[in-house]
Amino acid sequence: MAKQLIKGNEAVVKGAILAGCRFFFGYPITPASEIAEAAAFYMPRVGGTFLQAESEVASINMVYGAASGGVRVMTASSSPGISLKLEGISYCAGSELPMVLVDIMRGGPGLGNIAPAQADYNQIVKGGGHGNYKMPVLAPNSAQEMCDLTMQAFELADQYLNPAVVLADGFIGQMMEPVEFPRAVEKIPDKDWAIHTDLKDESRLISSIDLEPEMLEKHNLKLQKKYREIEANHVQYEDYKIDDAKIILIGYGVVSRVLYSAVDSLRQDGIKAGLIRPVSLWPFPKQHIADLALKSDAFLVVELSNGQMVDDVRLAINGVRPVHFYNRMGGMIPSPEEICQQVKKL
Amino acid sequence: MAKVLQKANSFYDIYERKSGMNKDITHYCPGCGHGVLHKLIAEAIDDFDIRDRTILISPVGCSVFAYYYFRVGNIQAAHGRAPAVATGIKRAMPHSIVISYQGDGDLAAIGGNNIMQAANRGEKITVFFVNNAIYGMTGGQMAPTTIVGQKTTTSPYGRKPENEGYPVRMCELISTLEAPLYVERVALGDPRHTNKVRRAVRRGLKNQIENKGFSFVEVLSVCPSGWKMTSEQAKDWLQEEMVKYFPLGVYKDESSKVETTEAKPHVFTIDNINENLSIPTRESASDKVEKKPQQQYRNPKLIIAGFGGQGVLMLGLGLAQAGMEAGYQVSWIPSYGPEMRGGTANCHVNLSTERIGSPTVSQPSLLIAMNAPSLDKFEKQVVKNGMILYNTSLIDKKPERSDIESVGIPATEIADELGNTRVANMVVLGAYIGLTGILDKKTLFQALPKFIKRNAMIPLNEKAIERGIEFVQK
Ligand SMILES: Cc1ncc(C[n+]2csc(CCOP(=O)(O)OP(=O)(O)O)c2C)c(N)n1
Ligand code: SF4
């Protein structure tokens, strides 16, 4: 199909609709607002519903309600708004409701600013909300992937009855690139657990409460089993010039784009650099990183945060090779030249 | 009479979900108002024959376990969020009958905004608001509806307005809104009062069955445990103290003014989906780049800068759009947000025959400066042997660098000659393609309608591009 030059944020909405999503509940926040705006524009044209809620708290709970009815539904926000949604996300995870959440990260803490950042890694990947839950977290680095990974998030959410997240930064949301849109999903999976209006099955209940510790432990064990299954089957990453790499760079989202350029220019200078880009932040490609550790000399993790993903890299490498870290914060973004300098200093 | 004694069909026969023994009685304390209200609701569901399409949202509060009892679709919601959850499921299933059942802490404190907004949107749901002037579930703390002077575990000296304010009257508040259809306050108590509650419950549900609008029924109710009273004392206190502050009655009822309609279920379809999503289905972009500009102009990394209103974002967008159609890999990234409000704007554009790494441009091979501050700001960053195009109409000095190629274009003057200052950006775009041969004019003209929304403006933009080309080729 033909290519369209489009913002990442808008590609999310078209991807979602192609994936069968017809319900969007949102609340404006820069740099994620184009997602709500595009949903407001396109949802009514495809027989769907867009509603601007009174807050992020309300919007995630509207998602919870709609998901209970078995439809594909989503919400999107940026960092401060995601903080507000966390209670609701935990409810969705506890009640095993599929839904898709998009976070276009911005600078923090507090109100911070609207420039790109990656400081929500811990809050999204490590839980954030209360309780022992996990969510598949997909990290696009292009407008095309904003569409493709949003679609994939809907599939994962339905397959595992779990919230799934697309985690991007302000740049990936605001950037325009050509996107080739895939075909629309024709039928969304039957959801025999959902609340229906013909109560053939009287046990239909969406809830996350269980007062009996034995029962709640059982429920937790079931969730953990599900998470292990996701870990075993849905690790995604991209390698770039990794085969003979001695120094391996690791970054996701817009950082990975800067790192492609850095790897190319390091190689021109005779340094054997390569890149691992985690596409799924959870499950994290820890085995892959561990495997490559033995073949390389050192790692450099680059993040737009105080060092959040780097902890997962260190766990994966487990001390067998040095793991260096370089970061920018507050909306700053490193240039390829800056990265090259860092590598040359190692 | 026999019917009154029978358990409603909308209750489970045995409460299997309830933990522990005694699965035939509820978890509520003896004399609690929740149980009575449950019964009135269940009987109404039976009588309207809507059990198979009723969805009950249980709140956080003593009625969190309402799903133990009601043989309907059940959703348990976070504290205060039942109206938002109800909104979500009702929008997804417009033909269902959605009940938001909430206590006073849940509805009037933590969920205060959610109920007001759902009411204000006129969500077609029915809210049953149990006002017992206390937090029952957590052991008798103060509620937003606790009466002045009333002692609770968190107002041990009695509620004091100077510290906690006055009790919130929800019916009064909600009835000031335009959208709600029906708002009534009733009280549980003697059979006469209970009859009124029964009627209000039915009215609230009927409004939804007839797809008319938002119904809100506040039920003053007793909490003997929280109030530390016997059932009899509690009944008296409700009638003597609560009713004084929370007058009973209908606060709003527009149901006779609204027509009955039928709510249609949501139908999923993908008919005309690409058209509705404005996704192009015809191939317009080629995959191969035909043009081969001179070595130094290939794979340009651009910063385009000026002040707001000069169309620098559009200039970049046009380049990216035409570049894509000519077969290049492209990226466009704007400076976004308040930065733009300050009056300056810039964007970064990449056109490449190879995969684009960093979409942000730290060392441009080409700077387009539409005003003087932009030249000052970005000149240093341009790579050696790079290029600067600058608008001599607004910049009266030359770039200082001698290791780059710089070309001045009187873009604003040319645009003014054409009758519209705003096409100065297209004059520069024309100059750029004329100088470098990165795109041909035909491709650019074909791309124009994709980034210029007003068709009537296209001929003028074409002319501006042509004038730019002519200027540099002279
Ligand atoms: C976010 C959150 N905060 C606090 C609580 C604790 N909590 C449970 S029930 C309740 C009060 C409920 O009171 P009310 O709504 O009046 O209902 P009642 O129990 O009196 O029927 C509170 C504060 C919670 N579950 N969640
Ligand atoms: S604490 Fe109060 S509201 Fe809760 S069940 Fe007991 S009497 Fe009813």
A272: domain CATH number?
3.40.50.920
CB contacts, 8 Å: B276 with chain A: 42, 45-46
Name residues 212-251 of chain B within 8 A of A (Cβ). Answer: none
Rounded-to-integer distance, Cα B377 and Cα B214, Å = 57
Phi, psi of A254 (to 5 degrees): -60, -30
B156 and B103 housed in the same domain: yes
So what's the pLDDT on residue B341? 52
Structure tokens at B96: 């269902």
Q: Is A262 in the same domain as A142?
A: no
Q: Pocket around ligand 2: residues whose beta carbon is below 6 Å from it?
A: B 28-29, 32, 34, 62, 132, 136, 223-226
C-alpha count within 13 angstroms, C-beta hemisphere, residue A69: 34
Instruction: Give the three-class secondary structure for B358.
Output: coil
The answer to the question of residue B198 being in a domain is yes
Q: List, for residues A270-291, the tens digit of each pLDDT value.
A: 999 999 999 999 999 999 999 9
Tell me if B127 is assigned to some domain.
yes
- Cα separation, B204 vs B193, in Å, equals 17
A143 and A193 part of one domain: yes
pLDDT in the model for residue A114? 92
**Which of the listed residues B18, B145, B225, B237 should we mutate to test ligand 2's pocket, taking the one with most ligand atoms within 8 A of CB?**
B225
Q: Tell me the pTM.
A: 0.95
* Pairwise CA distance, residues B54 & A202, whole Å: 12
Cα–Cα distance, B348 to B315 (Å, whole number):
11
Same domain for A120 and A43, yes or no, is yes
Interface size, chain A vs chain B, as Cβ–Cβ contacts under 8 Å: 246
Residues B128, B49 share a domain: yes
Q: Are A165 and A23 in contact (CB under 8 A)?
A: no
* Whether residue B334 is found in the same domain as residue B403: yes
A127 pLDDT band, cuts 50/70/90, is confident
A31 and A84 share a domain?
A: yes
Choosing from A208, A233, A258, the residue where a domain stops is A233
Do residue B85 and residue A18 have CB atoms under 8 angstroms apart? no
Q: Chain B within 8 Å of A235 (Cβ-Cβ)?
A: no
In the stretch 268-327 of chain A, residues with CB closer than 8 A to chain B read none
Half-sphere exposure of B162 (CA within 13 A, CB side): 1
**Boundary-marking domain end, from A233, A255, A277:** A233
Let me know whether B215 and B338 are in one domain.
no
Does the residue B289 lie in any domain? no
CATH code for the domain in which residue A139 is found? 3.40.50.970
A142 and A99 within one domain: yes
Residues B135-159: tens digit of each pLDDT: 999 999 999 999 999 999 999 999 9
In this structure, is residue B339 part of a structural domain?
yes
Contact A184 B270 (CB under 8 A): yes
Same domain (yes/no): A197, A245: no
Q: Are residues A7 and A123 in the same domain?
A: yes
- A-interface mutation test, from B16, B49, B85, B116, most A Cβ less than 10 A away: B85
The reply to whether A27 and A154 lie within a common domain is yes
Q: How far is the CA of B104 from the centre of ligand 2 (A)?
A: 12
Give the Å distance between the CA of B61 and the centre of ligand 2.
9
What residues in chain B have per-residue pLDDT under 50? 1-4, 338-340
Q: Which two tokens stand for residue A125?
A: 């990947």
Residues having CB closer than 6 A to ligand 1 are B 60-63, 79, 103-106, 130, 132, 134-138, 143
How does B334-354 read in b/e, with b if 16+ C-beta sit within 10 Å? bbbbebeeeebbbbbbbbbee
* Confidence (pLDDT) at B342: 56
Range of the domain at A44: 3-233
The token duo for A36 is 């709500």
Domain boundary among B203, B231, B257: B257
Shared domain check, B214 and B114: yes
Mind giving me the DSSP string for A83-140?
HHHHHHHHHHHHHT--EEEEEEEBS-STT--SSB--TTHHHHHS--SSSS----EE--
Ligand nearest to the CA of B31: 2
Residue B339's pLDDT is what? 47
Which domain covers residue B307, as residue numbers? 295-473
Q: B16 in a domain, yes or no?
A: no
- Residue B317: CATH number of its domain: 3.40.920.10
Does B76 share its domain with B166? Answer: yes
- Domain stop point among A211, A233, A255: A233
In degrees and rounded to multiples of 5, residue A71 shows phi and psi of -90, 160
For chain A, the average pLDDT equals: 96
Kindly list the residues from chain A whose CB atom is less than 8 angstroms away from the CB atom of residue B71. 199, 202
Tell whether A61 and A190 lie within a shared domain. Answer: yes
User: What helix, strand, coil percent values describe chain A, rounded to 5?
Assistant: 40, 20, 35
- Does the pLDDT at position A221 exceed 70? yes
Domains in chain B, number = 2
The average pLDDT across A129-157 equals 98
Q: Are A49 and A148 part of one and the same domain?
A: yes
Q: Are both B130 and B250 inside the same structural domain?
A: yes
The per-residue pLDDT for B474 is 82
Contact A166/A154 with Cβ under 8 angstroms?
no
Based on the structure, what is the number of domains in chain A?
Answer: 2
- Is the distance from CB of A81 to CB of A136 less than 8 angstroms? no
Q: pLDDT tens digit string along A293-329?
A: 999 999 999 999 999 999 999 999 999 999 999 999 9
Is B307 part of any domain? yes
Which B-chain residues 253-292 have CB contacts (< 8 A) with chain A? 265-270, 273-274, 276-277, 279-285
Query: What ipTM was assigned to the predicted interfaces of this complex?
Result: 0.95
Residue B5 belongs to a domain:
no
Asked if residue B319 belongs to a domain, the reply is: yes
A228 and A130: one domain? yes
The pLDDT, as a whole number, for residue A106 is 96
A319 vs chain B: nearest CA distance in angstroms? 30
CATH of the domain at B108: 3.40.50.970
Gap between the Cα atoms of B309 and B396, Å rounded: 20
Q: What is the pLDDT of residue B2?
A: 41
Statement to judge: residues B132 and B181 lie in one domain: yes
Contact assessment for residue B220 and residue B188, using Cβ atoms and an 8 Å cutoff: yes
